[in-house]
Structure 1
Amino acid sequence: MSELKKTPLNNYYQEVGAKLVDFGGWEMPVQFTSIIEEHKAVREDVGIFDVSHMGEVRVTGNEAVDFLNYALTNDVSKLKVNRAQYTTIANEKGGVIDDLLIYKLDENEFFLVPNAGNKDTDYEWLTGIEGFDVEITDESDDYAVIAIQGPNSREMVQKHTDEDISEMKMFNAKQDIDLAGHTVLLSQSGYTGEDGFEIYMKPDSLEPLWKVFKEDGAAECGLGARDTLRLEAGLPLHGQDLSPEITPIEARIGFAVNAKKEKFIGGEVLKDQKENGAPRRLSAFEMTGKGIPRTDYEVYDNDGNKVGYVTSGTKSPSTGKAIGFALVDTDFYEEGKEFIVKVRKREIPAKFVKNFK
């Protein structure tokens, strides 16, 4: 078994007694205090996350736009410099190899941020595509990343830079700015459903910047709160709600697929699903009986017919309700409809909801 990768904060985690787990081959904190406390801090104030396990891949060259438009599902040609876009890498069957952000740094220069466990797979997939004049570089070891999230995060970040970030909107980015004496790429983005930023920096800037925000009062947060926050916000997680067997259309992220593009990998299937519908759909639900849904629990209609399975589930710290995503037959879905989730040997009633608020 290979040794787990570590972010530059690993020694610090040992010192403060953070609870560490294996996540995508990385030793990462699942919590510092408690998941509920950290979740609440992000919803009400500000929290910080070490997301240095995410990958960074740079694509440059005269045919970078054409290459990325073929390799990815969204339309890269619509991106302006210092803007980011949510997109996916799909296989020939339309399944999601990964979901990621792509930044346009210059006319022929792009910066991709794949998920931690998929970085090597994504890099191999991209470098295996032939016929384009591009250079693809894995720069993951050159970056560390902090996500600072919550209603007071903007005010906290602004204290440490002369750049005006008051008007930064979702997926806006600023390159090479000074933040508390460190040169960073600042992106208005995140995975919590709150206002916030993701900060890309050199690895040796991670610990000093982390401590700057901690001293400001930001709560240190782990993967546990990140998961409850993203699920409450209705955001899918690759490996659960997204996979090579689940298409972006089925996962209800069709906005990441531009069906007007002429040709792209998986395009034939995805164009058809956009036009004619997909056989399954990812659907938000809440339990109406007592029980917490977990990944792979089976979903049945009230007549005992299996109609799908749970992809993600938890107890919402914000509402106290047990919530989740289920991938179900499209014909079965209807907002407010009741059904059954099998929790071990028990059959627990649940119903579809529009969102988790």
Structure 2
Amino acid sequence: MGKRTCLYDMHIQYNAKIVDFAGFDMPIQYEGIMDEHAATRNAIGLFDVSHMGKFELKGEEAKSCINYLVTNDLTALVDGQAMYAPMCYEDGGTVDDILVYQHAPNNLLLVVNAGNKDKDYKWIESHLLPGVDLKDITNELCQLAVQGPKSVALILSLTNISLGTLKYYHFLDQVVLADVPMLISRTGYTGEDGFELYFDKKDAQKIWTLLLEEGSSYGIKPCGLGARDTLRFEAGMPLYGNELSETINPLEAGLGYFVKLDGEDFIGKSSLLEYKVQPKRKLVGFELMDKGIARHGAQVLNPDEERIGAVTTGYISPTLGKSIGLALIPYAYDKDNILVQVRKNRLEAKIINKKFLKQ
């Protein structure tokens, strides 16, 4: 038996299929990945993401401390704002990609990937500046993602705060929803508008049930990690362990926008500067021309059938109805077609924009 979030009983009640994910017993699907994917694209999807790691970083030098650990430049971050930031080793490989929420420069919330939580904690702890305190608060909070084009209307109907004017990658603290105080942010990992709700885990079942009841007229559905993966993939968003890893740096993953090489010093900067001058690999999107699905790890070959890379993620897109994927290949590769090894077959594919959705 793995670890369980505060909503495990609800997942069982709603007939979720449970799988192991990062040591947690998590719902992979309820009615089905396709239905849950469509609900999020067209109405609202409700996701339990309480397994995500959550750290408090407090102290006068808290912001300076984390700014040295991430590739993005947090100096411009203001209170009530969040920022996406890869975190690297000295050689440029990725420790994790995280979110930094600023309550104040001396009070930050860090949200990290569940599978990396313990590793991230030790990494950050080993680089703490004097007077900066790090606390793991993962097990204290319930974290929900309410995603989809109708999510704003639903959340607005449940609170008297004007969340409709909340900007992307900003948050409000102490919002009261059904008498429960919470932090509500507007980031998202699906390619759709929506919110993240952070609140005391004792109110988890109450809020989960309320959202499903009040959201029924909006078409809300509980969604598992399966749909969460297909949704983020269609939107071209990376998943640690696929598009990012200890051996895949943010530049080759196509995340150069979040690597501020002209800003302040950070761990891995010198290696990433060298890499930018002489890049070796790049992440590309592709569409299969032949029938099949290119799964994670499938070999990528050039037209001469020489191995040049590997698939990082591949699915039949529920929204587009096409078999598409992401692959890491040599930076110098300049052709618009590749081959993908799927079982015994070598399938033709064409390289396309890796942001598969136009929205």
Tell whether the structures are fold-level matches, with TM greater than 0.5. Answer: yes
Offset at residue 97 of structure 1 (A): 1.1
Q: Distance in 2 between matches of 1:260 and 1:143?
A: 36
For the pair 1:349 / 2:351, whether they are aligned, the reply is no
Q: Distance in 2 between matches of 1:105 and 1:285?
A: 40
Q: Is the 8 A contact 1:31 1:222 kept in 2?
A: yes
Offset at residue 142 of structure 1 (A): 1.0
What residue number does 1:182 align with?
Answer: 180
What residue number does 1:6 align with?
Answer: 4
Q: Distance in 2 between matches of 1:340 and 1:305?
A: 9
Aligned-partner residue type, residue 59 of structure 1 = L
Offset at residue 130 of structure 1 (A): 4.9
Aligned-partner residue type, residue 134 of structure 2 = I
For the pair 1:311 / 2:341, whether they are aligned, the reply is no
Offset at residue 305 of structure 1 (A): 1.5
Q: Is the 8 A contact 2:65 2:128 kept in 1?
A: no
Q: Distance in 1 between matches of 2:258 and 2:2?
A: 32
Q: Distance in 2 between matches of 1:60 and 1:356?
A: 39
What residue number does 2:223 align with?
Answer: 221
Q: Is the 8 A contact 1:67 1:132 kept in 2?
A: no
Q: Distance in 1 between matches of 2:187 and 2:341?
A: 36
Among residues 55, 58, 63, which one is paired with 2:56 in the alignment? 58
Q: Distance in 1 between matches of 2:2 and 2:256?
A: 34
Compared CA separation, residues 49 and 36, structure 1 to 2 (3 A): same
Q: Distance in 1 between matches of 2:307 and 2:146?
A: 41
Q: Distance in 1 between matches of 2:342 and 2:282?
A: 21
Match of 1:308, SS state, is strand
Instruction: Tell me whether 245-254 or 208-217 shows the greater mean CA deviation.
Output: 208-217
Match of 1:113, SS state, is strand
Q: Is the 8 A contact 1:340 1:350 kept in 2?
A: yes
Match of 1:71, SS state, is coil
Q: Distance in 2 between matches of 1:119 and 1:292?
A: 31
- Could you state the TM-score of these two structures normalised by the residue count of structure 2? 0.96
Match of 2:53, SS state, is coil
Q: Distance in 1 between matches of 2:337 and 2:118?
A: 41
Q: Distance in 2 between matches of 1:11 and 1:65?
A: 38
Aligned-partner residue type, residue 339 of structure 2 = I
Aligned-partner residue type, residue 241 of structure 1 = E
What residue number does 1:155 align with?
Answer: 153
Q: Distance in 1 between matches of 2:314 and 2:44?
A: 24
What residue number does 1:280 align with?
Answer: 281
Offset at residue 15 of structure 1 (A): 2.3
Offset at residue 230 of structure 1 (A): 0.5
Match of 2:46, SS state, is strand
1:252-291 aligned within 5 A: 252-274=254-276, 276-291=277-292
Instruction: Tell me whether 110-119 or 253-262 shows the greater mean CA deviation.
Output: 253-262
Offset at residue 262 of structure 1 (A): 3.5
Among residues 215, 226, 233, which one is paired with 1:231 in the alignment? 233
For the pair 1:197 / 2:198, whether they are aligned, the reply is no
Q: Distance in 1 between matches of 2:84 and 2:183?
A: 17
Aligned-partner residue type, residue 287 of structure 1 = L
For the pair 1:170 / 2:151, whether they are aligned, the reply is no
For the pair 1:246 / 2:227, whether they are aligned, the reply is no
Deviating beyond 6 angstroms after TM superposition, the runs of 4 or more aligned structure 1 residues are: none
1:99-114 aligned within 5 A: 99-114=97-112
Q: Distance in 1 between matches of 2:88 and 2:30?
A: 35
Offset at residue 333 of structure 1 (A): 4.5
Offset at residue 133 of structure 1 (A): 3.1
What residue number does 1:211 align with?
Answer: 209
Q: Distance in 1 between matches of 2:151 and 2:128?
A: 42
Aligned-partner residue type, residue 20 of structure 2 = D
Q: Distance in 2 between matches of 1:304 and 1:290?
A: 18
Q: Is the 8 A contact 2:238 2:244 kept in 1?
A: yes
Q: Structure 2: give runs of 5+ residues left out of the alignment.
A: none
Q: Distance in 2 between matches of 1:80 and 1:308?
A: 40
Q: Is the 8 A contact 1:192 1:233 kept in 2?
A: yes
Compared CA separation, residues 277 and 233, structure 1 to 2 (3 A): farther
Q: Is the 8 A contact 2:73 2:264 kept in 1?
A: no
Aligned-partner residue type, residue 331 of structure 1 = A
Match of 1:251, SS state, is coil
> Could you list the per-position Cα deviations for residues 270-321 of structure 1 after superposition, in whole angstroms to 9, with x for gaps in the alignment?
12334x2521011111111111010110000001121110011111001111
What residue number does 1:69 align with?
Answer: 67
> Could you list the per-position Cα deviations for residues 59-112 of structure 1 after superposition, in whole angstroms to 9, with x for gaps in the alignment?
111111221111111111110000000001101111111101100011311110
Among residues 109, 122, 125, which one is paired with 2:123 in the alignment? 125
Q: Distance in 1 between matches of 2:345 and 2:182?
A: 51
Offset at residue 185 of structure 1 (A): 0.3
Aligned-partner residue type, residue 102 of structure 2 = K
Compared CA separation, residues 129 and 330, structure 1 to 2 (3 A): same
Match of 1:320, SS state, is coil
